[in-house]
Structure 1
Amino acid sequence: MKDEAKIILDICNKILLKNVDHHLRLNLEPISTQFKTLKDEIISSELTKLLVKEDLGGAGMTLTDIIPIVQLSAQYGTPIPFIETIISNFLLSELNVKPENDFITLTNKTENIQIKKDKISGNFKSIPYLNLVEKILVETEIKNQKYIILFKKGGKLKLQKNFLSEPKFDLDASELEIISMMEKPEQIDVQNLLINVRSIQSFGAMEKILKLCIEYCSQRKQFGRTLSKFQMIQNHISEIALEVAASGASLSTLKNNNKNFYNLKSTAIPKIRTGIASGKVIALSHQVHGAMGFTKEYELSYFTKALNSWRNEFGNEIYWQNILGKLFLNQNKNLWEFLNH
């Protein structure tokens, strides 16, 4: 990692360490002082412009450079559209559009989109943290051409009914003001980009879960000794550590080349491996914690719920195993060559 990237990572760590805790996660409101303080510090430090081109006022970092920041944000369980804003500003930058100085969110799940006189109408699905932003970035297809559109929030918001940590909304919009609308560059695959961000976040969440398991078992006592002394508990934690390590290794393809964030094979491999690991880590971590892990006041369930959400978003590991298998069958290399080139 470049020296500049290390400095930025340290700044990000200090801000999140100071402002993010379980109280914020459980009491997340746009009017809360804790949220406003966190938002102001992130925006004023320009962390949301890390991927923006330098001539547009950004840091000019690459997608590979921000992998540790996405990972760190997930480790802290940061309950705000921080990463969504980074990616949104990156997409705007690639279109040579000036980045936003506020939180924005994004989605590529749209239906019935209509554009009339610089107004957008339609249905937008599964938008994360829509309650905390005033603008939305979407990728959508109109008459066989894909566009990236930034518009002002409005219309009817519907909170999706689920048990997940990350609030997601559906939006039925009618004639909302378009701020910017550009044709999507062919080389950018928004969906693969978003999938890879989720894989990195899953890895970060699993690292946090492993840490929680170790801390809990080192402190909790049963039958006169700490849980960490029991062989079955040791086996569970070692298996969690194995899954975390394997997930981290699967992300190596993304660290090698920015273009791999758009590549289908390079997207499928970490998506599959983090998905497999997520299922095991969720089950084992709750076995280690017992009933304590399911309580709302203890933070484990926040991370396992987030992990379960990211695991299933854009298709689970079985769906992506089928895609990877078809890619392998449609070429002439052996399996080892296919996976490593």
Structure 2
Amino acid sequence: MDTRQLILDTAVKIFSDHCDKALWDAAEQGEFAHALWQQVAENGFHLLGTDASGTDAADLFAFLKVCGRYAVPLPMAEVLLANVWLTQAGKTASALDSIGIASATGAVQVPWGRRATQVLAVSPDSHGIALLQLPAEIATGQNIAGEPVDSLTAAESGEMLQVTDSPYAQMALARVNLMAGGLQTALDLGLQFAQERSQFGRSISKFQAIQHSLAVVAAEVAAAQRAADAGVDALGSDRFVEEVAAAKARVGEAVGIVAEQVHQVHGAMGFTYEHRLHHFTRRLWSWRDDWGNEFYWQTKLGASLAGLGADQVWNYIATRA
């Protein structure tokens, strides 16, 4: 068994033991999952992707896909990438629960910002990251999934760190992999419900309309998985930002289609607070908008193509296939 598979198998066991409706509901009430954090720390997951861990960026993003599958109610992407960037800049990796990452555009929104002792501000058009000076004014808030996302106002920016690859695109790719994992679970829940639910004396999975909906969902999930993998494969290359742009846009589109179809399969049951489906679909909707929605990345990708001229567009597409 290779190292990555061992990491993923361990993550699956931990998350399947801890991530349930009670944990998700508690997170919406602002309760931090301390027991789960402890398991993450003891297994060294917060250092994935750093040189000292013996793992690489591909391992990190594969792990985030598992986090998406289990709707882990913790800022895993922020912690993992922050520690990668800190170590790339010659800094010490942060304690597990004290780091945050925010977009430098507009208000500084930080998942679980109330717990952060360090915040890295990322600009969409730079490889530089500003280490914000804390403490800062904090206005607590939530995203559409009910997870704490706080607005921080720092008095000033501190040291600038330089990292490889676009940090903004890396955060977008993190959301892509979280979505890819969450989409797989949405499909699984739809299949399970269709097989278990009976109507007119037979399983609803036997109805052609339901089969069609689930086939559409399966196709979108497969496309999302491939888009996520393409983004990871482009790490370190000159096409990285373009691949992430395509992946974030494509997977964002898949989220809209999958959420609609899976909720239709579940009917009214899937919209009740007691059902767990919404814990995945609401996170998917939140991740879809984080770090650039489809419009943002499609515009960015279109601008790069427009500058080539009509005669070069096909060559551009063919050489990146």
Q: TM-score, normalised by structure 1?
A: 0.84
- Assess, with a 3 A threshold, how the Cα gap between structure 1 residues 67 and 261 changes in structure 2: closer, same or farther: farther
Change in 2 beyond 3 A, CA 1:228/1:265:
same
- Identity across aligned pairs (percent)? 26
Task: Please list every run of 5 or more consecutive structure 2 residues that lacks an aligned counterpart in the other structure.
Answer: none
**Residue 223 of structure 1: how far off its partner (Å):** 0.9
Query: Are 1:171 and 2:152 counterparts?
Result: yes
**Distance (Å, rounded) in 2 between the aligned partners of 1:258 and 1:209:** 27
Change (3 A) 1:269 1:50: same
Give the letter for the 2:153 counterpart. D
Residue of structure 2 in register with 1:300 after alignment? 277
Match status 1:60 vs 2:54: yes
TM-score, L = length of structure 2: 0.88
| 2:140 paired residue number | 158
User: SS at the partner of 2:150?
Assistant: strand
Which residue matches 1:125?
A: 108
Quick one: distance in 2 between partners of 1:145 and 1:322?
20
1:37: which partner in 2? 35
Contact 1:196 1:261 in 2 (8 A): no
Residue 109, structure 1, aligned to residue 104, structure 2: yes
Mapped to 2, the partners of 1:275 and 1:287 lie a distance apart of: 19
Inter-partner Cα distance in structure 2 for 1:107 and 1:328: 29
Q: 1:340 to 1:269 in 2, by over 3 A?
A: farther
* Alpha-carbon distance between aligned partners in 2 of 1:21 and 1:212, rounded to the nearest angstrom: 14
Alignment of 1:210 onto 2:204: no
- 2:26 corresponds to which residue? 27
Deviation at 1:134, TM superposition (A): 3.3
Query: Is the CA contact 1:62–1:258 (under 8 Å) kept in the aligned structure 2?
Result: no
- Aligned residues of 1:253 and 1:260 also touching (Cα < 8 A): no
**Contact 1:243/1:277 (<8 A) preserved:** yes
TM-aligned CA deviation for residue 135 of structure 1: 2.1
Query: Structure 1: 5+ residue runs without aligned partners?
Result: 112-123
Within the candidate set 294, 314, 320, 1:335 is matched to 314
What is the Cα deviation at residue 127 of structure 1?
Answer: 1.2
The answer to whether residue 69 in structure 2 is matched with residue 92 in structure 1 is no
State the partner residue of 1:6: 5
Paired with 2:296 and 2:122, the residues of 1 have a C-alpha distance of 23
Residue identity in the other structure for 1:73: C
Partner SS state of residue 170, structure 1? strand
Shift of the alpha carbon at 1:169? 1.4
Alignment counterpart, residue 74 of structure 2, candidates 71, 80, 96: 80
Q: Select which of 197, 201, 213 maps to 1:220.
A: 197
Give the superposed CA RMSD. Answer: 2.5
3-state secondary structure, aligned to 1:188: coil
Offset of residue 140 of structure 1? 5.5
Letter of the 2:147 counterpart: E
